[in-house]
Amino acid sequence: MAYNSLEQCLLDLERNGQLIRITEEVDPYLEMAAIHLRVHEAGGPALLFEKVKGSKFRAASNIFGTLERSEFIFRNTLQTVQQLIELKDDPVKAIKSPLKNFSAGLAALKALPKKNPLQKPVLFEEINITDIPQIQHWPMDGGAFVTLPQVYTEDIDKPGIMHANLGMYRIQLSGNEYEPNKEIGLHYQLHRGIGVHQNKANKKGLPLKVSVFIGGPPSHSVAAVMPLPEGISEMTFAGVLGNRRFRYCYVDGFCISTDADFVITGEVYPNENKPEGPFGDHLGYYSLTHDFPLMKVHKVYARKNAIWPFTVVGRPPQEDTSFGQLIHKMTGKAIQQEIPGLKEVHAVDAAGVHPLLLAIGSERYTPYTPTKQPAEILTIANHVLGTGQLSLAKFLFITADDSPQGSENNTISTNNIEAYFSYVLQRINLKRDIHFYTNTTIDTLDYSGEGLNSGSKVLLAAYGEPLRDLGTTIPAALNKLQHFTKPQLVLPGIVVLQAAIFTNYETARGEMEMLNNQLSIINDQLKDFPFIIICDDADFVSKTLNNFLWVTFTRCNPSHDMYGIDSLTQNKHWGCNGPLVFDARIKPHHAPAVEKDSETEKKIDRLFQKGGSLFNKLM
């Protein structure tokens, strides 16, 4: 069905047993987020908070909490969107099967945004920022944040909605040095369309007009996170996905989504920044306080009986995981069509998405050569690292599957992470297959480097016949090491060792040299263990696959934190004869991990214990 409001969607979820109401008053300071997290972890329904302390407005969360619920919300349009994306990748399909693709053509008519002369319903009333539910998610957060914003900007050289950008960039509503009701923070990262718009406005010495839409039909929120090609308006995608044209008007020169629940308008002036953060983010750590653009508030609007949607991000998986799954389901093989030879790509959510990318490509360059080694997959990997947000990948693993593209008999899949690692580790040549990219940009939220947006990348490209069987029994000699303790198996071929707290890189290099001296002597016993992980807590890292992925790939800066046993450099190419070592200890410059507040957890127990309002509804 086509929802014309957020409330219509929530009522539909409630009718179908996928939403529950919380009728007692709940504090937006930590409590609402804690309730959301507990329900999400249990795979529970969407939540409608009917009484938010300090605000007259209701709030909703966990709307997209599972892929199944997201598919239910878009059950009438998902197939059509997939069809349209396929037609873009292969327009000949439309000619070959015009009747089959006729419905997709009709749906595309919904893509054209509709200027709304009625200027309602979001303009029902003007409010202040402080009237909005002031939701603080984590104890160390700098204040209240908008976590499901749709941030709208226009190209100053090409004004109008068809050249506009809609992105989900977090907004800080309170705290720090912001003047209440007059200033809010606008945080955006690398490779975001808003940056292009602000750059153009800055060069002309003009303020960038910004509209922040919150709520409205759920298709609007998904459009804000959809990785569309540059030049395609997210508002057109929102119309197709929601089966309802994006309705808008202009007030005081600002674009207004008339179907939104709330709209905040304001301006960002050149070179006017203020400290933003900290904020518990989707890597599972706090993004720290940094100067980001300051948005001077013009007006704030709300519709009648408006509902404030929010989500909570933290160590994955969280609700934003479902966003990624939904996008992957809609786009299908669009990325593979864009990058020749690429068969699969998987941004691993458990590692925070951008830190770890797994890929499978093709090897077609030299079929006449009996020796198999990486060739085409190196070209594919460089294409991947130059494509949109995939370019933020820090660790890129790539291999090749010799089965035909699209075959149902593929040897491996990036979605089976354990099997993928086994396949790669059996084949990786540690002297040949490791390629570093130093002094480059990485994800803004990744603090493994020593500066904001600054770090390194590494490509591990493995292809060919198996070189080793992977060890599953820890060599006894590892129990006799000095300064490195608790050897434990993480996966076949991967051992974790515990070491003293990291102090500085000079000391770390000495520690790794000490490890090298000890392991070089027993290198023949380690031939089936290509990876060794150094960490602060071996029990934690080895406990689950997700713990291993999160710790290893979020806490390593490849150029600084990767070592090799019996390493060598030949013609500026680095490799090693023994295992590859990842120093995944917490570093002094790392951001702290997000942790739940114990007092808040005790407070919300009342809702989940027998007799509590959520206990009965969740059972």
Which one of 287, 310, 333 terminates a domain? Answer: 310
Q: What is the mean pLDDT of residues 522-538?
A: 96
What is the C-alpha to C-alpha distance for residues 253 and 267, in angstroms, rounded to an integer?
11
Domain co-membership, 216 together with 279: yes
What is the C-alpha to C-alpha distance for residues 165 and 152, in angstroms, rounded to an integer?
6
What is the C-alpha to C-alpha distance for residues 489 and 493, in angstroms, rounded to an integer?
8
Cα-based distances in Å from 139 to 29, 30, 184, 250, 260: 9, 7, 20, 38, 29
Lowest-pLDDT choice from 65-74, 178-187, 410-419, 508-517: 410-419
What is the C-alpha to C-alpha distance for residues 255 and 368, in angstroms, rounded to an integer?
59
What is the pLDDT at residue 450?
Answer: 80
616 — pLDDT class (breaks 50, 70, 90): low
Strand order in the sheet with 307-310: 19-22, 46-49, 58-61, 307-310
What is the pLDDT at residue 614?
Answer: 75
Whole-angstrom Cα Rg for the chain:
26
Residue entry with tokens 């890597």 = 283
Residue 510 within any structural domain of the chain: yes
Residue entry with tokens 């790509």 = 345
| Segment 334-351, tens digit of pLDDT | 777 788 899 999 999 999
Find the helix or strand (DSSP H, E) in which 8 lies.
helix 6-15
Domain co-membership, 396 together with 497: no
Residue entry with tokens 């934690």 = 540
> Counting every residue, how long is the chain?
619
Q: What is the mean pLDDT of residues 418-445?
A: 94
| Segment 139-156, tens digit of pLDDT | 999 999 999 999 999 999
Residue 598 within any structural domain of the chain: no
Contacts of 194 (CB under 8 A, 6+ apart): 151, 153, 165, 167, 169, 188
What is the pLDDT at residue 401?
Answer: 85
What is the pLDDT at residue 288?
Answer: 93
* Residue of 177 and 116 predicted with greater confidence: 177
138 has a pLDDT exceeding 70: yes
What is the C-alpha to C-alpha distance for residues 352 and 355, in angstroms, rounded to an integer?
6
* Residue of 417 and 323 predicted with greater confidence: 417
Domain co-membership, 157 together with 184: yes
Residue 150 within any structural domain of the chain: yes
Residue 103 within any structural domain of the chain: no
Residue entry with tokens 């709209």 = 263
What is the pLDDT at residue 40?
Answer: 95
What is the pLDDT at residue 388?
Answer: 79
Q: Domain with 180 in it: what CATH number?
A: 2.30.110.10
Residue 616 within any structural domain of the chain: no
Q: Domain with 551 in it: what CATH number?
A: 3.40.1670
DSSP state at residue 358: E
Residue 90 within any structural domain of the chain: no
Q: What is the percent of the chain where pLDDT is above 70?
A: 92
Cα-based distances in Å from 398 to 391, 423, 476, 582: 14, 11, 32, 18
What is the C-alpha to C-alpha distance for residues 92 and 76, in angstroms, rounded to an integer?
25
Token pair recorded at residue 472 = 């599953």
Average pLDDT, the chain: 90
245 — pLDDT class (breaks 50, 70, 90): very high
- Contact 154/211 with Cβ under 8 angstroms? no
Domain co-membership, 343 together with 448: yes
What is the pLDDT at residue 191?
Answer: 54
Domain co-membership, 341 together with 434: yes
Give the residue numbers spanning the domain of 516. 476-583
What is the pLDDT at residue 390?
Answer: 87
Domain co-membership, 145 together with 221: yes
What is the pLDDT at residue 92?
Answer: 40
Residue 59 within any structural domain of the chain: yes
What three-state secondary structure class fits 384? helix
Domain co-membership, 128 together with 270: yes
Diameter of the chain measured on Cα atoms: 79
What is the pLDDT at residue 95?
Answer: 38
Enumerate the β-bridge partners of residue 398.
Answer: 359, 461
Domain co-membership, 171 together with 237: yes
Q: What is the mean pLDDT of residues 61-70?
A: 96
DSSP state at residue 503: -
What is the C-alpha to C-alpha distance for residues 478 and 499, in angstroms, rounded to an integer?
13
Which one of 310, 330, 347 terminates a domain? Answer: 310
What three-state secondary structure class fits 6? helix
What is the pLDDT at residue 219?
Answer: 96
| Segment 558-587, tens digit of pLDDT | 999 999 999 999 999 999 999 999 999 999
* Amino acid at position 152, single letter: Y
What is the C-alpha to C-alpha distance for residues 210 and 207, in angstroms, rounded to an integer?
9
What is the pLDDT at residue 99?
Answer: 38
* List of E strands, 453-597: 454-461, 485-491, 494-498, 531-535, 562-564, 567-570, 573-576, 580-583
Q: Domain with 442 in it: what CATH number?
A: 3.40.1670.10
Residue 615 within any structural domain of the chain: no
Contacts of 155 (CB under 8 A, 6+ apart): 163, 164, 165, 196, 197, 200
* Residue of 109 and 178 predicted with greater confidence: 178
Domain co-membership, 488 together with 441: no
* Residue of 108 and 501 predicted with greater confidence: 501
> Could you tell me the pTM of the whole model?
0.91
Which one of 461, 492, 521 terminates a domain? Answer: 461
91 — pLDDT class (breaks 50, 70, 90): very low
Domain co-membership, 423 together with 502: no
A 10 A CB-CB count for 305 gives 13
Domain co-membership, 284 together with 377: no
Summary count for the chain: helices (H), strands (E): 19, 30
Find the helix or strand (DSSP H, E) in which 94 lies.
helix 92-96
Give start and end residues of each alpha helix (H) in 204-311.
218-225, 234-242
453 has a pLDDT exceeding 90: no
| Segment 252-310, tens digit of pLDDT | 999 999 999 999 999 999 989 999 999 999 999 999 999 999 999 999 999 999 999 99
Q: How many domains does the chain fold into?
A: 3
What is the C-alpha to C-alpha distance for residues 138 and 116, in angstroms, rounded to an integer?
39
* Residue of 107 and 222 predicted with greater confidence: 222
| Segment 77-88, tens digit of pLDDT | 998 888 877 765
* Amino acid at position 528, single letter: D
Lowest-pLDDT choice from 243-247, 328-332, 557-561, 581-585: 328-332
What is the pLDDT at residue 44?
Answer: 94
Q: Is 389 exposed, middle or buried (0-12, 13-18, 19+ CB in 10 A)?
A: middle
DSSP state at residue 250: E
What is the pLDDT at residue 105?
Answer: 53
Phi-psi region of 358 (alpha: psi -120 to 50; beta: other; left: phi over 0): beta
What is the pLDDT at residue 22?
Answer: 94
Q: Which of 452, 442, 448, 343 is nearest to 401 (CA)?
A: 343
166 has a pLDDT exceeding 80: yes
Domain co-membership, 235 together with 270: yes
